[in-house]
Chain A
Amino acid sequence: MSGAARTIPAPPVSPETKPFWEAAAAGTLVIKRCDACGDRHHYPRAICPFCGSDRTSWQTASGRGTIYSYSVFRRAPVPYAIAYVTLEEGPTMLTNIVDGDLDAIRIGQRVRVRFVPTDGGPPVPMFAPA
């Protein structure tokens, strides 16, 4: 039932996203905020997807959010729940829901980030019921 029950592929780390994965390794979720328009985005980019500014900076997120949508993939050897979670800070991110009953997952449910180890790379942010 947990994310650890299946092998999670390592995310490829690029120079552009290295700070995200360094923060992840330290157990912190960060997102990108644009210093020009003030909007926050995910996945993180050097160039703001809303206004095109190159003045973007990293911001620590609360790690709290709600489930926007999800699906339990029953056909997988170990069924898992893919989901979009909307962070308190605004952006909605693709993730997995872990540490709970897969059949109890609901849209609108409050969740909290939990970093899960990957196969030879930095841990990735998944979410568990808050």
Chain B
Amino acid sequence: MSIKGKAYIAGVFEHPTRKADDKSVAQLHAESARGALTDAGLSFADVDGYFCAGDAPGLGGLSMADYMGLKVRHIDTTETGGSSYVVHVGHAAEAIAARKCNVALITLAGRPRAEGMATGTAPRNYGPAAPDVAFEFPFGPTVVNQYAMAAMRHMHQYGTTSAQLAWIKVAASQHAQHNPHALLREVVTVEEVVGSPMVADPLHRLDCCVITDGGGAIVVARPEIAKTLARPRVRVLGAGEAVKHQSGGKIDLTYTGAVWSGPAAFAEAGVRPTDVKYVSIYDSFTITVLITLEDLGFCDKGQGGKFVADGNLISGVGRLPFNTDGGGLCNNHPANRGGLTKVVEAVRQLRGEAHPSVQVKNCDVALAHGTGGSLATRHGSATLVMERES
């Protein structure tokens, strides 16, 4: 069964806060849900499917269904880190196509900034029962030094440079200057990125995404319902998901799970990379974007450095505008999980509701891609292809 055309993204919302000292995590989830339902022209009473991941407090979906008063007949708490919400859109479309629900709500929220969490720079320990922990945690794996190893290997194997990686941040900053909610709105240069302090070789401070509080939500609806709503219609064309891991020690850090999720999504959608007018690419670090673009087929493997250089990702300048909200590198990375906001900006582009300075002309097909976990050890990859219904 294909999900092509079986579900629409009816509502999206990105919480405007970037530091939520005065709000609870559950409140941020619910405020985001309310925002997306209002955007769609629906209410909490219309929701019969609920999707959330590890950032949901308490017993996850049960706690948040309780808080929001949801009456659901379908629940999915698939946890693949920051890519979860891209996975959820695909799963919501499947559930709608299988008639398990009519209106699916996806929420994300967190407040790592208010809580002072050492997000990318402290080794994370998922507990002694994690089968990998004894063989990894003693060596101090952090989010940033793991992604850095992927970058180091890519540079070694393909000659990728820090200046090429820096172009990704430059493009994001060019877009973020137009986003009043973006955490970092200052335009930066390649020289400023490569001149910023080294965090973990070869990743500089400005190769890293922001740490923000906040959240977001997405409403996915059955076509018959979406067609009664007043908003521009965004149709789900295809979705793919994959898990890449250490393969028992047969390590290759030069590609991601996007080599599997991408072709699956493109095949289901019946489109090719050259048909895509806009991409939202998970940008935990600059290297994440570069490798993902290669893996999705926007350029050949190893050519990502050349592809992203010289402004090729800047809207109105380059061939492939990306992350026109400023992405995780400049705008927002709520709860250390950037997948949901990737879908939100892609929907804005398809609706023609991105900021006029970054709106892509005739944006009829867009792609959102999430990467959750670590490029170096274990991660989830999720690709979503959507189109504007003309």
Contact = CB atoms under 8 A, between A and B. Distances in A.
Given A8-B138, A17-B134, A82 B253 contact: no
Given A9-B137, A73-B200, A94-B141, A107 B153 contact: yes
Given A69-B156, A74-B200, A107-B153, A49 B141 contact: no
A84 B253 CA distance: 10
Contacts of A91: 248-250
Interface stretch (B99-107, B143-151, B230-238): B143-151
Interface in B198-248: 198-203, 246-248
A43 B135 contact: yes
B139 A96 contact: yes
Contacts of B146: 71, 82
A15 interface: no
Interface in B125-159: 125, 128, 131-142, 144-146, 148-153, 156
Contacts of A45: 131, 248
A41 B247 CA distance: 8
Interface string B179-202: 000000000000000000111111
A73 to B, nearest CB: 5
Contacts of A86: 251
A124 interface: yes
B149 A41 contact: no
Contacts of B144: 73, 75
B140 A70 contact: no
A42 B201 contact: no
Given A11-B134, A41-B249, A75-B200, A94 B153 contact: no
Which size bracket describes the interface of A in this complex? 35 or more
Which size bracket describes the interface of B in this complex? 35 or more
Contacts of A124: 138-139
B139 A14 contact: no
Interface string A1-16: 0000010111111100
Contacts of B121: 75-76
A48 B247 CA distance: 11
A82 B248 contact: no
B200 A94 contact: no
B377 interface: yes
A20 to B, nearest CB: 8
B376 to A, nearest CB: 8
A89 to B, nearest CB: 9
Interface in A51-94: 68-76, 80, 82-84, 86, 90-94
A61 B9 CA distance: 54
B249 to A, nearest CB: 3
A40 interface: yes
A72 B248 contact: no
Contacts of A21: 134
A69 B134 contact: no
Interface in B239-268: 246-251, 253
Contacts of B247: 49
A95 interface: yes
A118 interface: yes
Given A70-B149, A71-B148, A118 B138 contact: yes
Contact of A72 (B131, B135, B138, B201): B201
Given A71-B146, A94-B136, 13 more contacts: A6-B140, A11-B134, A43-B134, A71-B145, A71-B200, A73-B140, A73-B145, A73-B200, A76-B121, A82-B149, A92-B249, A94-B376, A126-B139
Interface of A: 6, 8-14, 17, 21, 39-45, 48-50, 68-76, 80, 82-84, 86, 90-96, 107-108, 118, 124, 126
